[in-house]
């Protein structure tokens, strides 16, 4: 594990992460793969939801999961069901009810983490060592709690945090901010500002299946191409030492 992640030289790197990887979005995942693999190869992370909207991975999903394993060099756990149980407040409405961990207590958080890791190990051959909370809202899924389930880094909107509280700043482009289209455009523009001014942060291009339906794929491709033209290369967090057991 790097000793000081804040001081890591990220000037020649960037990362690509696809969220909401679930069988319901198999065609969307295939489209992203076809579009981005010629640019970055398999140097992409797939954030898998193991029980999307209450439907767990199963045997009929094997072809899809095999393709994900072949095309994405890193697998991360992305919540359990992704959707918040019960009613939420304003944030939940903006996020279309997808802020899963905001709506569960510590015991239920533990249950979902354990069940998610079990499904990943069963159907993808190994549990995840990295975690991304739906809508980046971790609830009770703190780094210390995640470590109990073999997860040793969590990716937030602006930082990666390890189970030993080391941190790496991120500059994040994200389009699927909300069903409100203006917020999606704002997510991209804020990413551009971060890339310009947060010089010590690792650029991170975050993708969602709904980006395709909203017509953002050309802008996503241009963003990745811009990073490549700047001399940066795609990297995986785990190739940088993340996910290593302390």
Report whether pLDDT(11) > 50: yes
User: Over the chain, what is the mean pLDDT?
Assistant: 91
Please give the Cα distance from 177 to 94 (Å, whole number).
8
- Go through the domains of the chain in sequence order and give each one's CATH number: 11-240 (3.20.20.370)
pLDDT tens-digit map of 38-96: 999 999 999 999 999 999 999 999 999 999 999 999 999 999 998 777 666 666 666 66
Average pLDDT over every residue of 24-34: 98
Report whether pLDDT(134) > 60: yes
Q: Are 19 and 205 in contact (CB under 8 A)?
A: no
Question: HSE of 228 in the Cβ direction (CA atoms, 13 Å)?
Answer: 13
Report whether pLDDT(118) > 70: yes
Identify the burial level of 61 via C-beta atoms within 10 angstroms of its C-beta, where 0-12 means exposed, 13-18 middle and 19 or more buried. middle
Report whether pLDDT(242) > 90: no
pLDDT tens-digit map of 119-131: 999 999 999 999 9
Q: Are 220 and 211 in contact (CB under 8 A)?
A: yes
Please give the Cα distance from 29 to 87 (Å, whole number).
29
pTM: 0.91
Between 146 and 99, the more confident residue is 146
Between 134 and 179, the more confident residue is 134
The separation between CA 46 and the C-alpha centre of its own chain, rounded to angstroms, equals 7
Between 245 and 165, the more confident residue is 165
């Amino acid at each position: 594990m790097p000793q000081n992640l804040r001081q890591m030289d990220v000037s020649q790197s960037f990362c690509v992460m696809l969220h909401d990887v679930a069988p319901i979005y198999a065609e969307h995942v295939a489209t992203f793969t076809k579009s981005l693999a010629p640019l970055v190869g398999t140097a992409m992370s797939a954030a898998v939801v193991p029980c999307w909207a209450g439907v767990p991975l199963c045997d009929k999903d094997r072809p899809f999961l095999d393709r994900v394993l072949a095309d994405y060099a890193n697998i991360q756990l992305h919540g359990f069901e992704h959707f918040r149980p019960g009613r939420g407040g304003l944030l939940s409405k903006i996020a279309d009810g997808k802020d899963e961990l905001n709506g569960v207590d510590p015991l239920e958080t533990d249950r979902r983490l354990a069940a998610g890791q079990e499904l990943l190990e069963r159907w993808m051959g190994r549990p995840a060592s990295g975690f991304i909370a739906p809508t980046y809202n971790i609830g009770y899924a703190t780094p210390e709690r995640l470590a109990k389930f073999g997860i040793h880094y969590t990716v937030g909107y602006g930082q990666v945090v390890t189970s030993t509280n080391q941190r790496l700043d991120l500059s994040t482009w994200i389009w699927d901010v909300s069903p409100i289209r203006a917020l999606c455009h704002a997510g991209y523009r804020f990413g551009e500002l971060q890339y310009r001014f947060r010089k010590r942060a690792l650029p991170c291009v975050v993708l969602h299946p709904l980006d395709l339906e909203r017509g953002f794929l050309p802008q996503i491709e241009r963003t990745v191409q811009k990073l490549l033209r700047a001399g940066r290369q795609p990297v995986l967090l785990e190739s940088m030492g993340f996910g290593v057991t302390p």
